[in-house]
């Protein structure tokens, strides 16, 4: 990699009349462990009541994805 700039840059994609720029880090989904940890936090916030693990997981995933935008 002699002489090459190795910094991360946004990719541009041109369509007729429009140019869209995306940041490569925006496309990275949260990891399973990150979602698990946030779902557990939601469980604790609910007072550790069982029976809503799926809802906690989906809410954690939604929050993590929304936080990346």
Phi, psi of 25 (to 5 degrees): -70, -20
Does residue 38 belong to any structural domain of this protein? yes
Does residue 22 belong to any structural domain of this protein? no
Q: Is the pLDDT of residue 8 over 70?
A: no
Query: β-strand 18-22 against 11-15: which pairing, if any?
Result: antiparallel
pLDDT in tens, 18-45: 555 555 555 688 999 999 999 999 999 9
* Domain boundaries, position 55: 30-69
- Residue carrying the six token digits 């940041």: 23
Does residue 18 belong to any structural domain of this protein? no
The mean per-residue pLDDT over the stretch 9-18 comes to 54
What average pLDDT does the structure give for the chain?
Answer: 78
Per the structure, the count of domains in the chain is 1
Q: Which of 7-11, 16-20, 52-56 has the highest mean pLDDT?
A: 52-56
Does residue 14 belong to any structural domain of this protein? no
């Amino acid at each position: 990699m002699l002489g090459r700039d190795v910094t991360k840059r946004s990719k541009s994609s041109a369509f007729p009349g429009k140019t869209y720029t995306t940041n490569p880090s925006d496309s990275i989904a949260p990891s399973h462990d990150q979602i698990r940890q946030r779902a557990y936090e939601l469980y604790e916030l609910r007072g550790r009541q069982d029976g809503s693990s799926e809802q906690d997981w989906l809410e954690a995933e939604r929050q993590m994805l929304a936080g990346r935008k």
